[in-house]
Amino acid sequence: MEEIILYLLELLIFPGIIFISTLALFFQWFDRKIHARFQNRVGPLVVGPKGLLQPLADFIKLLSKEDITPISADRAGFILAPIITLTLAVISAFFIPVMSYSGILSFSGDVIVVLFFSTILTFMIAFAGYSATNRFSTIGAARTALQFISYEIPYILSVIAVVIISRSLQISEIVASQVSTYGLPYVVILPIAFVLYLVSLLAKLEKIPFDIPEAETEIVGGWSAEYSGKKLAFFKLAIDIKMVVGAGLAVAFFLGGPYGPVIPGIEWLCYTFWFIVKTLVLVFILSNLRTLFARYRIDQMVKIFWDYITPLAFLQLILAEGFVIYLM
Amino acid sequence: MTEKVVKERYTIPVGPQHPALKEPIFFKFIVDGEQIIEAIPRIGYVHRGIEKLTEERTYLKDAYLVERVCGICSGVHQATFVNAVESLIDKPTPERADYLRVLVLELERIHSHYLWLGVAAHEIGFDTLFMYTWRDREVVMDLLELITGNRVNYGMNIIGGVRRDINDEIIHKTLKGIDYLEERAKYYLDVAADEKTILARTVGRGILTREQALKLGAVGPTARASNLAMDVRKDDPYLVYDEIPFELVTADTNDVFGRIVVRVKELFESYNIIRWVLENIPSGPTFIRTSPKVPAGEAIAKSEAPRGELFYYVRSTGTLKPYRVKIRTPTLANILAVAEMLKGEYIADIPIVFAGIDPCISCMDRAFFVDVEKDKKWVWSEDELKLYSRKWYKTHEKEVIQRWKR
Amino acid sequence: MKIPGVMEKELLKSVVSKPATVNYPFEESPPPAEYRGMPELDIGKCLGCSACALNCPSDAIEMVPDERTRTKKAPKFLYARCITCGICSFVCPRSAITMTLKPIPPTYDKDELVGRA
């Protein structure tokens, strides 16, 4: 009985739903602050100390706005899309190792389950744009689908390179093999995979230079044009949690998980601390890339990914295979 | 403007409210997938009737009304109007006034081109360049506030000269500000030429060949990027421009990238003009007193606004108020060119191609008549409008009197 | 092959330097001495000649009865219409109107937007 209560607490509070949502909002604050500092301005400042509560204030404001469903929209799809997106995003965040080797959920083959959930999340965005039956939303949904078939292959291939080296499809075993078997984080052994993972993550999270489906100046917000009120709040929170999942997976696959020097006795706190530090480094790099470029056009983006990134991903696979054979 | 809408294709409306447009204008795009087949513009959403309002105010009040036609190029509107009225009055304006006018006009050109660089960068999603150029533009705004008293709508001119004068401290601050801005403009020229993402979005987009530009009547940097050497400051010099040595900047790439290069290089020419003006400004009075009644006659004045050729026509019958003022702004001449440029482009290129002509829709608006049932469009002359209004009031006389009595 | 990302050095310089924005209104940002704010009248110099009211481009000056001037009239400013162009102070033959440094305030109180000497 006690175990069930402990498990429920873990699921709900730490490192469960509340912890993940807080982390998502904190990452949004960090990203906005760094983005502003790169542009020589201040960023969020007033709400809370140094503007820390600004993303929470935005979330609450959106929850209280009027929720309009257009008459010609497909009601079922329009309402289901944000709910499914938020649910799947939170569930895939349960797999991330925060306090120890494994997350809350862990079983053999969970790498494939997490990748599958992230695929459905992208599909949900296209579905949302399609259900809104607005000209601009339809164009946004078409662009999401086109972008999806370009970045998904390098994303999965870079994860498979890691899987080949660590010989396991379970996230906890991948982290364990970095700590005990090799003693090195995989970013040293597979640097190309790390770079490709980051670039595909930029496209997956729809950040500049690949925020084509949601281009504000061209198609008025794309798939999110018709959303308002609670549904938009859920979508925005789901996007932030996607960032947590993407960065958390990168830390688990390439940077050795939440491991680092610890103080004995309160290991779980130190591991959480190292997890947050490493993911913040990743968020800093992503923010830097977001500030540095202009937005590409959809055909240029497809050309870049199919001409340069996918061949590099295959090259990395061959190198990883060669490394494993060399070790044998 | 043909209106043959092909019903099977997809139509995308852009405007009147759209994040890509800073002002309301309507475009109907007929697209096939992501490619545009035809672009049909429709204007008139922000027509304020300024030309009619000028007929009810005296000349001095008109100079301050006409300044508010546009916010970005307000100085050049006022200077051109005052130029037209002063050519009806016979006394020449003092030279120091002309030099000060050139100083304010060139500072305004700098501020307008920096603003355009930021807006064009925002349209292609490059917010960092937008923030940097607008931060540097604050230097120009502070200089203009020092010289004229306000950041936009300067109010520097009166009929017969300028209102304010500059002293040595202002000259020193202006030169320091110009040096800082020149460094930044060099950096932006390097960035625009080398940054691969900007080149990917602007090279080869919005092609307007030289023959097309001549046929459709393009003006300003839009025409100069298509290798047409047209500039009012060289072809028909006004104020002091026949004495100032500067170069005409053209580019021959015919695309949006050429327009970026032309505008950034024009910044360097403006810096040199300002330095020459501040060195060679003569001493003397800054204005002369004129009588409020302007002698009868008609006059035109042309000048080079930051967007192209600006044209004013003033007709007076010897009274306190003008009989007719007609304004032709450069964006009106470029709209047909932009409708031609957009054919064959992708939807993703609409914002940057449209922003490439530096549109100032509030300057541009015109009124015209559309009869939706009979599918007719027409424009009336002054006599036809008077005839129609007299007929309308005769038939609706009783109704109008009722409304007044209430 | 050119790698995109030319502005990286500038970005890193901006992170460590002070932001270019001023936290107005919590920090001061005074206008220069040449700024044109609300016009104010010095009743001792006023003649009541109505030059300011006749030349105001937005008709923001009304002449109202006042005992202290030679023609027994004085200007009343309607700041809601004022565009702070400064023509009133330019055409005044006795330089009785000065443009102060105060901007026209946003206010709920209509009486703040009417000025009399």
How many Å apart are CA B334 and CA B216, to the nearest integer? 8
For residue B291, give Cα distances in angstroms to B95, B112, B315, B317.
20, 34, 17, 15
- Same structural domain, B209 and B262: yes
Q: How confident is the model at residue A1, as a pLDDT?
A: 80
Strand stretches in chain C, DSSP E: 39-41, 61-65, 73-78, 97-99, 114-115
Residue range C32-66, pLDDT digits in tens: 888 888 899 988 888 888 898 999 998 899 999 88
Q: How confident is the model at residue A278, as a pLDDT?
A: 92
Buried b (16+ CB within 10 A) or exposed e, B303-314: bbbbbbbbbbeb
Count the neighbouring beta carbons within 10 Å of the beta carbon of residue B25: 23
**C6/chain A closest Cα distance in angstroms:** 8
Write down which chains contact chain A via at least 3 CB pairs under 8 A.
Answer: B, C
Percent of chain B with pLDDT over 70: 95
- List CB contacts (< 8 A) between A31 and chain B: none
For residue B198, give Cα distances in angstroms to A143, B80, B349.
21, 36, 12
A211 and B34: CB-CB below 8 Å?
A: no
Q: How confident is the model at residue B313, as a pLDDT?
A: 92
CA proximity to A14, closest of A83, A104, A88: A104
Choose the final residue of a domain: B329, B362, B387.
Answer: B329
How many Å apart are CA B286 and CA B268, to the nearest integer? 28
Residue B25 has pLDDT above 90, yes or no: no
Residue B238 has pLDDT above 80, yes or no: yes
CA proximity to A225, closest of A290, A295, A146, A138: A138
Q: What DSSP character marks residue B68?
A: G
CA proximity to A313, closest of A195, A193, A198: A193
Does some domain include residue B150? yes
Q: Average pLDDT of B29-41?
A: 86
Residues 6+ apart with CB under 8 A from B21: B14, B15, B354, B359, B361
Q: How confident is the model at residue B35, as a pLDDT?
A: 85
C57 and B61: CB-CB below 8 Å?
A: yes
Q: CB of B157 within 8 A of CB of B79? A: yes
Q: CB of A40 within 8 A of CB of C14? A: yes
Q: How confident is the model at residue B1, as a pLDDT?
A: 44
B195 and C10: CB-CB below 8 Å?
A: no
Does some domain include residue B2? no
Query: Edge-to-edge, what's the strand order for the sheet holding B308-316?
Result: B297-305, B308-316, B324-328
B175-184 long-range Cβ contacts below 8 angstroms, 24+ apart: B175/B275, B175/B278, B177/B139, B177/B140, B177/B142, B177/B143, B178/B271, B178/B274, B178/B275, B180/B136, B180/B139, B181/B110, B181/B136, B181/B139, B181/B140, B181/B267, B181/B271, B182/B268, B182/B271, B184/B136
B34 and A292: CB-CB below 8 Å?
A: no
- Same structural domain, B292 and B383: no
How many Å apart are CA B12 and CA B119, to the nearest integer? 23
B163 and C99: CB-CB below 8 Å?
A: no
Does some domain include residue B3? no
Count the neighbouring beta carbons within 10 Å of the beta carbon of residue B326: 12
**C4/chain B closest Cα distance in angstroms:** 5
Residue range A247-260, pLDDT digits in tens: 999 999 998 888 88
Choose the final residue of a domain: B307, B329, B351.
Answer: B329
Hey, is B156 helix, strand or coil? coil
Q: A246 falls in which pLDDT band (50, 70, 90)?
A: very high
Q: How confident is the model at residue A217, as a pLDDT?
A: 64
- Same structural domain, B292 and B257: yes
Task: Return the structure tokens found at A28.
Answer: 């949004």
Average pLDDT, chain A: 89
Residue B375 has pLDDT above 80, yes or no: no
Environment class of residue B74 by beta-carbon count within 10 Å: exposed (0-12), middle (13-18) or buried (19+)? Answer: buried
CA proximity to B316, closest of B300, B335, B339, B334: B300
How many Å apart are CA B335 and CA C19, to the nearest integer? 39
**B348/chain A closest Cα distance in angstroms:** 6
Residue range B140-182, pLDDT digits in tens: 999 999 999 888 888 888 888 898 898 899 999 999 999 999 9
**C8/chain A closest Cα distance in angstroms:** 7
Count the neighbouring beta carbons within 10 Å of the beta carbon of residue A179: 14
CA proximity to A26, closest of A204, A172, A244: A244
Q: How confident is the model at residue B171, as a pLDDT?
A: 93
Q: CB of A258 within 8 A of CB of A278? A: yes
Q: How confident is the model at residue B372, as a pLDDT?
A: 65
Residue range B192-232, pLDDT digits in tens: 788 888 888 888 888 999 999 999 989 999 999 999 888 98
How many Å apart are CA A139 and CA A213, to the nearest integer? 8
Does some domain include residue B369? yes
- Same structural domain, B216 and B350: no
Looking at this protein, which amino acid is placed at residue A288?
N
Task: Return the structure tokens found at B25.
Answer: 């204008």
Q: Average pLDDT of A55-70?
A: 91
Locate all alpha helices (DSSP H) within chain C, ordered by sequence.
8-16, 51-55, 87-91
Q: Average pLDDT of C76-91?
A: 90
User: Higher model confidence: residue B33 or residue B86?
Assistant: B86
Element (H, E) at B310: strand B308-316
Q: CB of A121 within 8 A of CB of A95? A: no
Q: CB of B258 within 8 A of CB of B252? A: yes
Residue B19 has pLDDT above 80, yes or no: no
Write down which chains contact chain C via at least 3 CB pairs under 8 A.
Answer: A, B
Average pLDDT, chain C: 86
Residue to test with chain B: of C8, C18, C52, C55, most B Cβ within 10 A: C55
φ, ψ at B302 (rounded to 5°): -120, 150
| Residue of chain A with shortest Cα separation from C17 | A40
How many Å apart are CA C113 and CA C117, to the nearest integer? 13
Looking at this protein, which amino acid is placed at residue B188?
Y
φ, ψ at A72 (rounded to 5°): -85, 5
Q: How confident is the model at residue B9, as a pLDDT?
A: 75
- Same structural domain, B381 and B249: no
C34 and B145: CB-CB below 8 Å?
A: yes
Interchain contact B132–A (C-beta under 8 A): yes
Q: CB of B67 within 8 A of CB of C87? A: no
Q: How confident is the model at residue B4, as a pLDDT?
A: 53
Q: CB of B144 within 8 A of CB of B111? A: yes
- Which residue has 């700041």 as its token pair? C79
How many Å apart are CA B322 and CA A81, to the nearest integer? 63
φ, ψ at B54 (rounded to 5°): -65, -20
Does some domain include residue B1? no
Q: How confident is the model at residue B368, as a pLDDT?
A: 65
CB-closest option in C6, C10, C36 to B194: C6
**C2/chain B closest Cα distance in angstroms:** 7
How many Å apart are CA B19 and CA B344, to the nearest integer? 22
How many Å apart are CA A193 and CA A199, to the nearest integer? 10
B147 and C34: CB-CB below 8 Å?
A: yes
Does some domain include residue B112? yes
Task: Return the structure tokens found at B70.
Answer: 């546009």
Interchain contact B36–A (C-beta under 8 A): no
Does some domain include residue B207? yes
**Torsion angle of alpha carbons A117, A123, A128, A130, nearest 10°?**
-160
A42 and C21: CB-CB below 8 Å?
A: yes
Residue range A96-151, pLDDT digits in tens: 988 888 888 888 888 999 999 999 999 998 999 889 888 888 888 888 898 999 99
What's B270's domain CATH number? Answer: 1.10.645.10
Average pLDDT, chain B: 87
Residue range A277-289, pLDDT digits in tens: 999 999 999 999 9
B348 and A215: CB-CB below 8 Å?
A: yes
Element (H, E) at B316: strand B308-316
How many Å apart are CA A162 and CA A250, to the nearest integer? 11
How many Å apart are CA B39 and CA B28, to the nearest integer? 6
Percent of chain B with pLDDT over 90: 34
- Same structural domain, B162 and B192: yes
- Same structural domain, B207 and B352: no
Residues 6+ apart with CB under 8 A from B200: A294, A296, A297, A300
Q: Average pLDDT of B6-23?
A: 76
CA proximity to A242, closest of A117, A153, A103, A77: A117
Choose the final residue of a domain: B311, B329, B347.
Answer: B329
How many Å apart are CA B330 and CA B358, to the nearest integer? 10
Does some domain include residue B285? yes
φ, ψ at B131 (rounded to 5°): -65, -40
Q: What DSSP character marks residue B301?
A: E
Looking at this protein, which amino acid is placed at residue A14?
F
| Residue of chain A with shortest Cα separation from B126 | A294
Residue B287 has pLDDT above 50, yes or no: yes
Q: CB of B214 within 8 A of CB of B301? A: no
Element (H, E) at B277: helix B256-280
For residue B108, give Cα distances in angstroms to B142, B148, B404.
12, 12, 46
Q: How confident is the model at residue C1, as a pLDDT?
A: 56
- Same structural domain, B249 and B390: no
CA proximity to A185, closest of A324, A278, A288, A118: A278
Q: How confident is the model at residue A195, as a pLDDT?
A: 92
CA proximity to C113, closest of C13, C38, C48: C38
- Same structural domain, B134 and B248: yes
What's B381's domain CATH number? Answer: 3.30.390
A294 and B122: CB-CB below 8 Å?
A: no
For residue A211, how many C-alpha atoms fall within 13 Å in the half-sphere facing its CB? 22
How many Å apart are CA A143 and CA A130, to the nearest integer? 11
φ, ψ at A296 (rounded to 5°): -80, 165
Q: Average pLDDT of B24-35?
A: 85
- Same structural domain, B14 and B145: no
Q: CB of B125 within 8 A of CB of A208? A: yes
- Same structural domain, B301 and B396: no
Residue A4 has pLDDT above 50, yes or no: yes
Total structural domains within chain B: 2
How many Å apart are CA A153 and CA A186, to the nearest integer? 20
For residue A84, give Cα distances in angstroms to A70, A144, A231, B44, B370.
20, 17, 11, 45, 49
Residue range A39-56, pLDDT digits in tens: 888 889 888 888 899 999
- Same structural domain, B172 and B236: yes
Write down which chains contact chain B via at least 3 CB pairs under 8 A.
Answer: A, C
Q: CB of A57 within 8 A of CB of A47? A: yes
Element (H, E) at B28: strand B26-32
Q: What is the DSSP string of A220-246?
A: TTGGGTT--THHHHHHHHHHHHHHHHH
Hey, is B327 helix, strand or coil? strand
pTM of structure: 0.89
Residue-range definition of the domain harbouring residue B151: 50-329
